[in-house]
């Protein structure tokens, strides 16, 4: 009886919206799908805020997309002098870190293989592939709540996506954890449909050169000390059992060993080495590109590696799942002990 009443109420609501000239959820989803299918590309500017650890971190995000498969995503945090760019062209997927003169090349399904909070077509895919997505129209916007499709991050299962009613451009995205706490918030300030692009706009070498002029390579040397960071994510029965500092040719490497009855892993940290060369030949990487929020990482079945704030990090394990390694990696940035 209760189920019948819910169905009847839903039907009445749909009819009422239609009578008032309001578009239904199915109407808006169809319009979004057509918009993404027919567009030639876009340029977008947004602010992304991450609630990780004790302090929120804010990044400027610039997105270029030339249909069907060219992408340029530039993430910047001026306060930390952090700059990273993700490029996709006919040659593959590249992750550029201009301040370290480094570039990495992946043979990856990015961005189709996972949710991307700052990419329009990814947001529309999240909506259309979630049969349980909910819909709430307001005076100026359409809001959806959907499941996310993060490939290696089950800790962020839900998101709300808001679109401008006039032109269906994205307004905001809020990604929540399992307790519905806000973890990632993307707010779009500018969105240009069918943007024009010039030859070379998605070229790896051209973008590396331009980003280096905008963000001069850091002058820090490997010998400089860095603050050791510890993961705050907990895995049942696993504790820190050893911490040691190893001297290397380029400075120091800190190794944290965590162990328990069933699970164990190692966290390695060392100062990034600035590549002193004018060559832009990228380093070929194994694994998949995964977005940690504050940076982009490479994840395999046995490890995850990333660079942040001039430090190289690696989490390695023979018995953690990729999801667990991503969870550990995200939490490393949340708490500073030394």
Distance (Å, whole) CA 127 – CA 29 = 8
Nearest residue to 40 (alpha-carbon basis) of 120, 125, 144, 124: 120
Identify the residue with better confidence: 7 or 260.
260
String of DSSP letters for 254-291: EEEEEE-SS-EEEEEEEEPPP---S--PPEE--SEEEE
pLDDT-based confidence at 6, cuts 50/70/90? very low
**pLDDT above 90 for 18:** no
pLDDT of 182 strictly over 70 = yes
118 Cα distance to chain centroid: 8
- What are the boundaries of each domain within the chain? 19-214, 239-273+300-332
- Per-residue confidence (pLDDT) for residue 276, from 0 to 100: 64
Residue-wise pLDDT tens digits, 247-277: 988 789 999 999 999 999 999 999 988 776 5
The pair of structure tokens assigned to 260 is: 């328990």
Q: Which two tokens stand for residue 58?
A: 């804010």
Close Cβ partners of 30 (under 8 Å, ≥ 6 residues apart): none
State the average pLDDT for the chain. 87
Is 162's pLDDT higher than 80?
yes
What is the pLDDT, as a whole number, of residue 105?
Answer: 92
Residue 45's pLDDT is 98
What is the arithmetic mean of pLDDT over 79-93? Answer: 87
158-164 β-sheet, strand order: 134-137, 141-147, 158-164, 170-176, 182-193, 41-52, 55-66, 70-77, 82-89, 92-97, 102-106, 283-284
Name the β-bridge partners of 290: 297
Q: Please, is 130 exposed, middle or buried when counting C-beta atoms within 10 Å of its C-beta (0-12, 13-18, 19+)?
A: middle
State the pLDDT at residue 10.
53
d(CA 265, CA 258): 5
Residues 49 and 56: beta-carbon distance below 8 Å: yes
Over residues 231-238, the mean pLDDT reads: 93
193 or 10, higher pLDDT: 193
* DSSP, residue by residue, 222-260: TTS----B------TT-EEEEEEEEEETTEEEEEEEEE-
Q: How far is 238 from 143, CA to CA, in rounded Å?
A: 40
Q: Looking at the domain 19-214, which fold is it?
A: outer membrane lipoprotein receptor (LolB), chain A (2.50.20)
Q: Model confidence at 228, in pLDDT bands (50, 70, 90)? A: very high
Q: What is the pLDDT of residues 60-74, one digit of tens each?
A: 999 999 999 999 999
Report, as an integer, the average pLDDT of 94-108: 87
Could you tell me what percent of the chain has a pLDDT over 70?
86
């Amino acid at each position: 009886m209760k189920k019948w009443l819910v169905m009847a109420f839903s039907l009445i609501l749909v009819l009422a919206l239609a009578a008032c000239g309001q578009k239904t959820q199915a109407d808006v989803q169809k319009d979004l799908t057509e918009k993404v299918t027919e567009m030639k590309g876009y340029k977008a500017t947004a602010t992304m805020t991450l609630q990780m650890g004790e302090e929120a971190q804010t990044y400027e995000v610039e997105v270029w997309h030339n249909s069907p498969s060219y992408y340029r995503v530039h993430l910047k945090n001026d306060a930390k002098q952090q700059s990273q760019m993700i490029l996709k062209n006919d040659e593959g997927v590249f992750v550029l870190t201009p301040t370290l003169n480094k570039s990495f090349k992946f043979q990856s399904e990015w961005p189709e293989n996972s949710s991307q909070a700052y990419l329009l077509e990814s947001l529309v895919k999240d909506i259309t592939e979630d049969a349980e997505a909910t819909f709430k129209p307001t005076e100026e916007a359409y809001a959806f709540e959907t499941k996310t499709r993060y490939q290696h991050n089950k800790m962020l299962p839900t998101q709300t996506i808001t679109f401008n009613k006039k032109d269906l451009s994205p307004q905001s995205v809020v990604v929540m954890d399992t307790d519905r706490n806000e973890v990632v918030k993307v707010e779009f300030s500018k969105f240009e449909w069918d943007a024009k692009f010039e030859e070379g706009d998605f070229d790896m070498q051209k973008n590396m050169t331009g980003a280096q002029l905008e963000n001069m390579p850091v002058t820090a040397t490997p010998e400089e000390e860095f603050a050791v960071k510890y993961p705050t994510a907990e895995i049942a029965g696993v504790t820190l059992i050893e911490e040691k500092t190893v001297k290397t040719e380029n400075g120091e490497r800190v190794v944290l060993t965590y162990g328990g009855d069933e699970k164990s892993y190692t966290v390695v940290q060392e100062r990034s080495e600035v590549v002193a060369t004018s060559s832009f030949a990228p380093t070929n990487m194994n694994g998949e590109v995964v977005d940690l929020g504050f940076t982009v990482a490479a994840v395999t079945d046995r490890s995850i590696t990333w660079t942040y704030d001039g430090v190289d990090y690696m989490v390695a394990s023979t018995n953690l799942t990729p999801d667990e390694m991503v969870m550990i990696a995200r939490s490393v940035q949340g708490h500073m002990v030394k």
